[in-house]
Chain A
Amino acid sequence: MNTTATSKARRVSYLWRGLWLALIFALGLEVAARLEDWIRYGAPPLRNYTFDQLFRLTRDGPRGVPHGHYMRWALNSYGLHGPEISMKPGQVGVIVSGASEAFGIYEDEGKEFPRVLERDLNARTAPGRFVVINAGMPGMTPHVSLELVRQLRAQFRARILEILPSPTEYISATRPFCSKPIKYQPPDGFTWPQSRVAGKLFEKAKAVLPESFMTLARSLLIDWQVGDRAPLKTVSAQSLEAMAADIRCEVQTARELGMIPIIVTHPNRFGNIRHPDDEAQLVEWRYQYPILEESGFVDLEDRANTVIRNTARAEGGILVDADAQMSGHSELFADHAHYTDEGAAVMASLLVPAVLDAYAQTLHGTVTANSPAKRP
């Protein structure tokens, strides 16, 4: 009896010791992760450090944090991705509005397409002639974007607005964002501390584990998130009409502000060319929007780009059909729709003639507030 009790006590003691050592091991990893982030990126060792901290909620919607930085991403004093903006007389401002594709996720710093566009434009014209302002922000919706454009236009007198709609924002939309007020929910005062090493482990696992395993894991999570709800096979016509209304709204607003709008179709890696990893990429895309079935994304892109083309033509705006030029070329995309360095360079090269076209219109005075621009 006594021996059994001693043996049990010893086992409990071993268990506690094992847990204690596991805790020290885990804490050691966490401290190492924080130390590395601090040395490498200047990250605060004692606070959370995530991509989201580049942005904050304001009464005008989400905005970049002035001088915010996270890993390799650095924002300027206006909270925009890119270098400090200084507009001198005679310089031409080009605002690039859009979501994460414009902000730049996978490109090396300085190789996101707005930066390449600025370099290409100045190389084609005169050094310092164009200043491209990257107003892209992940998850940006048109009504929030337009508010930012208004402020930037007032400050920098930009003359050209590049509009890159993001079709996935309309998956469950029932009415245009332009008709919605910007909601402001003050953030909670307390945020739970997040493990940095867990995030790094997850990223490592993604890189190391076979793609098939990751796809299976994502599929299971998608099923779990969808639950009893019936997934959408396709996005409704009403949603795409909302998108068309928003593009019209953006074009209208640009013109009201005295800017020439350039409308760009949304390129993606799928197009008409099939790739071996298409299915895995679609599952990864769906993981962000579980309610839409995988086939629905390709369908949405096709229909949304048709809507963009038709609306651009109807509004008499300058259209850049990036979808026709880039979609299907998987080497241009790091995932479903975000660009590689090469993709960003191609996108910039497609935009250059359109911006020069728009610039020519501003020089000839063919654009005025409240009047549609004419194509030369």
Chain B
Amino acid sequence: MHFDSASYLILFLPAVALVHWALRRLFRASVAQTWLLLASFAFYSLGAAPLHLFLLAASILCNWSIARRMCSCEQPAPRRAWLHVGLWGNIVFLGVFKYTAFFLGGVYPLLHISAPVPHLAFPLGISFYTLTSIMYLVDSYQKLNEPLSLFDYSSAIAFFPYVTSGPIVRGASIASQFHGELQANERAILFTAGLYRLASGLLKKIVLADLFANLAQAGFASMPRLSFTDAWIASVAYTLQIYFDFSGYSDIAVGSAALLGIRIPENFNWPYISASISEFWQRWHMSLSLFITHYLYTPLVRSFGKATLRTSAIATLLAMAIIGLWHGPAMTYVVFGAMHGVALVINQVAKKRKIKLPRPVGWLLTILFVNSAFVVFRAPDLAAAAHALRMMYVPFGAGGAGNLVHAQLGQFLTVDVLVRSLLLGLPLLLVLSWRNNWRHAAPEPATSAGRTAMPFVPAAACALLYSQIVYCVLFVGTTAQGFIYTQF
């Protein structure tokens, strides 16, 4: 079930939210939490094979058991041993399902083995829930959180808004919200904000991402025939597509969770305005950046002993290459990660030497680099990536006729796109203007029953916004192009 499908936005999410709030009102929070856990497993099973649901359940059970054993030990040695068991278990689990074919495909020819390479089906969301599990294990080892019950842990790991494509969360911070009480006005603001995020995410996905996807798809499909202009158009189109696609997804995830009264971390903060690559990673896929910093980079630097520029550079390069590989079993992803690693090292050196570029120059260099790295990320192989980069940066090299813009312009702005942008964009602008007023408004006074009334304007705006979402997905339709990050 896609996040931009009618079945999710009109049936699944409203039904889950309505029943959840009804249960919270009528029964204890744990009853509502049970409902969310069931809904999460139902959501996962609708998009995954039954075996993959079993794998998710097994991962939850194993990680929870290991964390529990770890927490019950007071001695550092067994704690560390259990942490290693947990970490290696997760790495092997991820490796078996994600990298077996990649690894054996490289090893077999070297060993002259002619046996067929086994291709295991890729469990939905494995990359994301494995990282969430690793975060929980490390946090438990460092005693950053209290051990969770299996019920809380499974509710936090399998929570449907992020189980398939993130954001990558700290389980404990989510689990505490399942039974936390919300004030009525807090609930109302969260609900309103959730719908707003849902609509803006949908706008990003079905209008902007899918719009640029056509152009990027056409460009990367006809790579050998691209001209200098075409190569730039295709690369910029993909850079915009991946941002709107992934941040649209994240918005829908954040919005869906907010509708259920749960706050999950933000994933994007205008990454393309960054003036340096380190700033870019503070704004792009922020939950992954947090993971890289706290769970990869820092332990690596510590393992080298003394933190110097050199050890920091090595740790950065390693961490980014690992994150590149985390995206998928392909050399393009490894090179993408390594490129970012090198750029971050250069950034560290520049910072150390106090070289500061004017912000516009920094922005230009950053966006050019990010765009080029995404060419490698998107290209089918390294040779195609090299060709595309050559076309972009060697303007007088051999290139094609350059008719991509002309060929695709008709498909670029269709009536559907116009209808979707108006239907979702206009109410969003309206809500945005209202939101600015709410932000500064003092909380409403509590009523005699100790609850606050739902403010009129947000509720009306919610109804209007949701009507446009329903209309868009029901009648105008989405383009049925899946989200990019669900493949990771």
Q: Which of B418, B459, B467 is close to A29, meaning CB atoms less than 8 Å apart?
A: B467
Q: In the complex the two chains form, is A24's CB within 8 Å of B422's CB? A: no
Which residues in B have their C-beta under 8 angstroms from that of A26? 467
Q: In the complex the two chains form, is B471's CB within 8 Å of A33's CB? A: yes
Which residues in A have their C-beta under 8 angstroms from that of B475? 32-33, 36, 200, 204
Which residues in A have their C-beta under 8 angstroms from that of B472? 32
Q: Which residues of B464-486 are within 8 A (CB) of A?
A: 464-468, 470-472, 474-476
Q: Which residues of A25-69 are within 8 A (CB) of B?
A: 25-29, 32-33, 35-36, 39-40
B460 is an interface residue with CB less than 8 A from chain A: yes
In the complex, what's the smallest C-beta–C-beta distance from B74 to chain A, in angstroms?
Answer: 53
- Give a binary string over B4-40; 1 marks a CB under 8 Å from any A CB, 0 the rest: 0000000000000000000000000000000000000
Q: Which residues of A198-253 are within 8 A (CB) of B?
A: 200, 204
- Give a binary string over B408-441; 1 marks a CB under 8 Å from any A CB, 0 the rest: 0000000100110011000100000000000000
Complex Cα distance A33/B449, Å?
Answer: 41
Q: Interface residues of A: mostly helix, strand, loop or mixed?
A: helix
B448 is an interface residue with CB less than 8 A from chain A: yes
Interface size band for A: 20 to 34
A155 is an interface residue with CB less than 8 A from chain B: no
Q: In the complex the two chains form, is B467's CB within 8 Å of A21's CB? A: no
Q: For residue A204, which residue of chain B has the nearest CB?
A: B474
Q: In the complex the two chains form, is B415's CB within 8 Å of A197's CB? A: no
In the complex, what's the smallest C-beta–C-beta distance from B46 to chain A, in angstroms?
Answer: 17
B463 is an interface residue with CB less than 8 A from chain A: yes
Which residues in B have their C-beta under 8 angstroms from that of A29? 467, 470-471
Q: Interface residues of B: mostly helix, strand, loop or mixed?
A: helix
Q: Which of B448, B467, B474, B476 is close to A28, meaning CB atoms less than 8 Å apart?
A: B467
Complex Cα distance A26/B471, Å?
Answer: 10
Q: For residue A31, which residue of chain B has the nearest CB?
A: B467
A6 is an interface residue with CB less than 8 A from chain B: yes
Q: Which of B419, B463, B470, B471 is close to A24, meaning CB atoms less than 8 Å apart?
A: B463
In the complex, what's the smallest C-beta–C-beta distance from B34 to chain A, in angstroms?
Answer: 26
A88 is an interface residue with CB less than 8 A from chain B: no
Query: Given contacts A24-B460, A200-B475, A204-B474, are A39 and B415 in contact (CB under 8 A)?
Result: yes
Complex Cα distance A26/B448, Å?
Answer: 32
A274 is an interface residue with CB less than 8 A from chain B: no
Query: Given contacts A33-B475, A197-B471, A204-B474, are A24 and B464 in contact (CB under 8 A)?
Result: yes
Complex Cα distance A204/B423, Å?
Answer: 19
Q: In the complex the two chains form, is A35's CB within 8 Å of B422's CB? A: yes
Q: In the complex the two chains form, is B464's CB within 8 Å of A39's CB? A: no
Q: In the complex the two chains form, is A36's CB within 8 Å of B423's CB? A: yes
Which residues in B have their C-beta under 8 angstroms from that of A6? 448-449
Which residues in A have their C-beta under 8 angstroms from that of B419? 35-36, 39-40
Q: Which residues of A137-164 are within 8 A (CB) of B?
A: none
A124 is an interface residue with CB less than 8 A from chain B: no
A17 is an interface residue with CB less than 8 A from chain B: yes
In the complex, what's the smallest C-beta–C-beta distance from B109 to chain A, in angstroms?
Answer: 51
Which residues in A have their C-beta under 8 angstroms from that of B415? 39-40
Q: In the complex the two chains form, is B467's CB within 8 Å of A32's CB? A: yes
In the complex, what's the smallest C-beta–C-beta distance from B11 to chain A, in angstroms?
Answer: 11
Which residues in A have their C-beta under 8 angstroms from that of B463? 21-22, 24-25, 28
Which residues in A have their C-beta under 8 angstroms from that of B423? 32, 35-36
Which residues in A have their C-beta under 8 angstroms from that of B454? 17
Q: In the complex the two chains form, is B466's CB within 8 Å of A25's CB? A: yes
Q: For residue B474, which residue of chain A has the nearest CB?
A: A204
Q: In the complex the two chains form, is A36's CB within 8 Å of B476's CB? A: yes
Complex Cα distance A63/B461, Å?
Answer: 45
In the complex, what's the smallest C-beta–C-beta distance from A203 to chain B, in angstroms?
Answer: 9
Complex Cα distance A20/B459, Å?
Answer: 10
Complex Cα distance A25/B471, Å?
Answer: 10
Known: A25-B463, A32-B475. 17 other contacts (CB 8 A): A6-B449, A10-B449, A20-B460, A21-B460, A21-B463, A24-B463, A28-B427, A28-B466, A28-B467, A32-B423, A33-B471, A35-B419, A36-B423, A39-B422, A40-B415, A200-B475, A204-B474
